[in-house]
Every structure is written in C-alpha cells, then in structure tokens.
Amino acid sequence: MQPAYSVIFLTTATGAGYGMLALLGVLRATGNLPDDRAFGLFALGLALALISAGLLASMAHLGRPERAWRALSQWRSSWLSREGVLAIIGYGPAVVFAFGWLVLQKNEGLWPLAGLATAVLSIATVYATSMIYRSLAAIPRWDQPLVAPVYMILALATGAIWLNAVLVPFVAGHALIQAICFATLALAWVLKIGYWRAIDSTVGTSTTASATGLEGLGPVPPQVRPLDPPHVQDNYLLKEMGFTIARKHAHKLRRLTHLLAFIVPLVLIVIQAATSGPVSVLAAALAAISVSFGVVLERWLFFAEAQHKVMLYYGADRV
C-alpha cells in the first residue's frame, strides 16, 4: 500500500494524543497527578492539540473534505464512521474534565467520572482507528489479530512518554508514570515483534489462479503469469495499492524502528528516572521525540509492507 502521509500523521498524532488524554483522565481521577493548573493546561492542551491536528490532517486525505460531516452517519457498519463519531463524542467528557481541573480545581464527587469517561472514549477511538485496517480482508497484513493491540498499546506508550516529558519540569521523578512508560513501551515492542513475525510467516490464501478463476484448470492449479498488461501507464490501483518495498529496505527500516521507537526511548526513560534536574528534563523530552519519529516510521512500514490482493492481477503470485 502507498504510505499516505496524512494518514500516518493522523494515526501517530491522535495515537499519542489519545494515549496521553486517557492517562491524564485515569491518573487524575485516581489522584495520581498534581493539581497544578499550569501543568494541567499544558498537558491537556498538548493532548487535545495532537488529537485535533491529527483529525484535521485526516480531512486532507479526502477527495471532498467539505462533505466530511457525512462520515458520521454509518456507524452501524463502518469503522471509519465509528472512529469519527467516537472522536467527536470524546470531546464532550474531555471538556468537562478540563473544566473541572483547570477552572474549578475539583477532583471529587462526579468530576473523576469525567476523567474516566474521557479515558474510555480515548481508547475506544484508537481501537476504532485500528479496526479500519484490521477489517480489510483484501490486505492480509492488516487483517491480523495483533493490529488492534499494537495500535492501542503504542498509543498508551507514546502518550505516557509525552506525558512524562510534560510532567518532569513540574514534578521531578513521578515513579508511577515512569513505570507506565516503561511497561507500555516494552509491551508494545513485544507485540510489534509478534506482528512482524506473524506477517513474515503468513502465507497468502489467494493466488493469481484463484483471482482469475483458473484454479480448476488441470489436476493441480495452473501457473498464471501476466502477459499483456491492460494499460501501459500506472493507473489508480497501481499508484494506491501497487507500492512495494524491497525486503532489504524493509529490514533496515525495521531495525531503525526498533531503535527509535523502542530501544532509545526505553534507555532514555531509565536515564530520566535515574537523574534529576536538566539532564532528566532533557532525557524525557528526547524520549518523546525519539518515540514519535519511531512510530511515524512504524506506521510508514505498516503501509509499505502491506500487500493488496488486487496486485494478483498485476504480477504478485500469492497474497
């Protein structure tokens, strides 16, 4: 699949934003965050800015963005529609949560519920995003059980690391958040390695013979090879679904993803936890920057390594 930059930015930014928002909601509801208005403004502002920027970027990907409101109507069947509906509903409790924190400075009675509701809707939105890909059987490398867990845990991990970066200047050494950063990122790493193993070992179920209805010719399925192409220039299908990445490049980029998304941030979180003062602040900020570039790369590969079954008509022999 052709990596769509607006979609890569969308999922990376909203992932980090929703992860951060979910953690803010849960941690404040359970009394694990400082009441500090400046911190709250900064953290909530960053989370909501990441989410809003991501959602706006997704509109850039549309052919007719002025009709985007129509995408809210088909939540019964479409994960894309569900994502849009959940994203918009999510602003409701988030605004109430922010009002209770930043304006009223309250965290008792019903106010924590707004934080918990924000967290639930945030994770649900990331789940809906992941299911857009997971539900496409025409792209077997997306139709994988680990796709949704990787999206959700990576959202929590990037959100935790950004939250940590914002928190360190206010509270030096928040052990719970450091532990969450480390645990979620380590879990995301394990799941991502599992995903890569799964797609590397999965054998496609469709062949050019089954795609052309010629499977039944002969005692075993015949070999079917493209001879006359239907067109001499790339069409929409080849431009959108025909992107292929050389295996050696994919391996190089996977190694870089291991480094930027997982190894470097994990090491930096440990350094941040072990130090104090400017070194700690710098380590936390660098971890956030590294994990963000790493996840952009991870998303780029998610597209670049995905093969679409339509390529069976254009030279792929098994997808």
> Which spans of this chain sit near other proteins (rule: CB under 8 A)?
1, 61-65, 67-68, 70-74, 76-81, 84, 132, 135-139, 205-206, 208, 210-220, 222-231, 233-237, 240-241, 308-310, 313
Classify residue 26 as exposed, middle or buried by CB count within 10 Å of its CB (0-12, 13-18, 19+).
Answer: buried
d(C-alpha 5, C-alpha 119), whole Å: 27
**Cα distances (angstroms) measured from residue 98 to each of 24, 86, 165:** 10, 18, 20
Nearer to other proteins, 31 or 229 (CB): 229
Residue 80 or residue 198: which is nearer to other proteins going by CB?
Answer: 80
The nearest distance, CB 318 to other proteins, in angstroms, is: 12
Other Cβ atoms less than 10 A from the Cβ of 190: the count is: 13
Length of the chain: 319
Shorter beta-carbon distance to other proteins: residue 216 or 277: 216
Residue 145 or 229 with smaller CB distance to other proteins:
229
- How near is the Cβ of 152 to other proteins at its closest, in Å? 20
The minimum distance between CB 162 and other proteins, in angstroms, equals 28
Residue 170 CB, shortest distance to other proteins, in Å, is 40
Q: Which is nearer to other proteins, 64 or 248 (CB)?
A: 64
CA distances from 202 to 54, 135, 194 (A): 32, 17, 12
CB of 147 to other proteins, least distance (A): 14
How far apart CA 111 and CA 37 sit, in angstroms, is 16
Cα–Cα distance measured from residue 206 to residue 35, given in angstroms and rounded to the nearest whole number: 57
Contacts of 38 (CB under 8 A, 6+ apart): 170
Closer residue to other proteins, CB minimum distance, 7 or 33? 7
**CB of residue 11 to other proteins, shortest distance in Å:** 14
